[in-house]
């Protein structure tokens, strides 16, 4: 059924126990849709994993969903998840973003604060993300801060799509 909207996929990835943060990302996408996207006949479609086990059990499908996405939101706190599979997704998203033939336009990395963390492996993981020069990293302490940041980011993404004036690769 035709609905008259250009749809753009936003893949949300988050290993571990960050369900409230993942929900904040979904809420931000919904609010950006309501405030900015839908009046412009654009729809940001939220996709991702409901369960971390899906990344291992359906790896090719998950990777294909990343490849078909226009935007990618990665939420982290302390590690790359089971078998570093979220690292692979993150690197795939960057690869897609850097390939002009792919629909990926931007990768948002959100790192939840862990002020009491002393585990050296976790601290090294956090430093690795903070030292990357090829992504914008947003640090936050509460899910509400994350939602506000991502709502602004999604609004900016929509504005960039509006400025194009026509569907980008991957729009449906």
Q: How confident is the model at residue 67 (pLDDT cuts 50, 70, 90)?
A: very high
Q: Which of 1-15, 27-41, 105-119, 138-152 has the lowest mean pLDDT?
A: 1-15
Determine the 3-state secondary structure of 74 from DSSP: strand
User: Model pTM?
Assistant: 0.91
More confident: 170 or 83? 83
- CA-closest candidate to residue 10, choices 29, 23, 38: 29
Give the tens place of pLDDT for each residue, 141-158: 999 999 999 999 999 999
In angstroms, the CA 137 to CA 156 distance is 16
Domains of the chain: 6-164 (3.40.50.2300)
């Amino acid at each position: 059924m035709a609905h008259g909207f250009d749809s753009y996929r936003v893949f949300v990835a988050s290993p571990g126990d960050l369900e409230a943060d993942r929900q904040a990302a979904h809420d931000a996408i919904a609010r950006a849709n309501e405030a900015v996207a839908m009046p412009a006949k654009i729809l940001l479609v939220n996709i991702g994993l409901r369960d971390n086990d899906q990344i291992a059990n359906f790896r090719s499908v998950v990777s294909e969903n990343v490849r078909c996405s226009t935007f990618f939101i990665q939420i982290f706190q302390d590690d790359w998840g089971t078998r570093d599979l979220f690292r692979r997704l993150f690197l795939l998203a960057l690869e897609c973003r850097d390939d002009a033939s792919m629909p990926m336009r931007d990768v948002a990395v959100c790192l939840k604060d862990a002020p009491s963390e002393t585990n050296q492996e976790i601290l090294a993981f956090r430093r690795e993300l903070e030292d990357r020069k090829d992504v914008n990293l947003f640090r936050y302490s509460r899910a509400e801060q994350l939602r506000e940041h991502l709502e602004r980011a999604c609004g900016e993404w929509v504005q960039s799509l509006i400025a194009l004036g026509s569907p980008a690769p991957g729009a449906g």
